[in-house]
Amino acid sequence: MNKPRNEVYFFLMALILGMILIGIILSPLLISMKQTIEAIGKGKKQKLYIGYPRSVHILSGFFYFGMALFVFFFIWPWLSAVIQQDPILW
């Protein structure tokens, strides 16, 4: 059967693929954050800022920045090309 696909289908597909690809692409940042936090427990002295070293805050900032870049430069243009309207205004 050939069923027509509506905008909701494409939004769900973009959501699922975006979560998977963001997890794959940005996993090195998550791994380095985990290693930095584990190094604190092993007695490695670093400059702390509210319980975590500054490098963890910097890495988490890069992670959120990378997520925003991925959404605004890959997901949003692809979705607007597929549904032929602005996904934010839809």
At 43-77, the pLDDT tens digits run 655 555 566 677 888 888 999 999 999 999 999 99
The percentage of residues in the chain with a pLDDT greater than 70, rounded to a whole number, is 81
Which range marks the domain in which residue 62 is found?
18-76
| Token pair for 3 | 């069923």
DSSP 74: I
Question: Into how many domains does the chain fold?
Answer: 1
In a domain, 60, yes or no: yes
In a domain, 42, yes or no: yes
Asked if residue 46 lies in contact with residue 54, where contact means CB atoms within 8 angstroms, the answer is yes
In a domain, 40, yes or no: yes
In a domain, 81, yes or no: no
Structure confidence at residue 87 as a pLDDT band (50, 70, 90): confident
Residue with tokens 């791994």: 31
- Output the pTM of the full model: 0.73
DSSP 2: -
Asked if residue 63 lies in contact with residue 29, where contact means CB atoms within 8 angstroms, the answer is yes
pLDDT at residue 31 greater than cutoff 60: yes
pLDDT at 51: 67
